[in-house]
Amino acid sequence: MMRNRIMIISADIEGNRLLLHVNESIDHLKPAEQILVDSDQFSFIYLMENQEEYTYIVIPEPFWPLLKSALEQKNTAWISNEGTQVELTQFREELEYVVSNIKDNSNYGEEMVTKVDDIF
């Protein structure tokens, strides 16, 4: 199965929603309800899919403090592009699971563990 990568370019919290902004089209994507970890690039990756392939929504480290705020406020997460918004279902539950799994887990690499501990 092929995969695309879409990088988050900005993020903010509006009301009870965390909005992750991208430049690419998200019209045909649906949530796969899973978060992966890229410990080489210090990113969390939310999986989305269409009929042919997976798309990685890449959330790099500079956005992690906002992710933490969204977790604490129990915000829903949305991906947004020029008026199109798609809810990233299971985002909070998946992120909480991944963060708790990384803490004190050397399998992710010392630097990734330290960065996650410092922010979360």
Q: Indicate whether this model's pTM tops 0.75.
A: yes
pLDDT tens-digit readout, 35-85: 999 999 999 999 999 988 999 999 999 999 999 999 999 999 999 998 899
Look over the chain and give the mean of its residue pLDDT values, rounded to a whole number. 95
Residue 8 confidence (pLDDT) above 70: yes
Specify whether the CB–CB gap between 58 and 48 falls below 8 A.
no
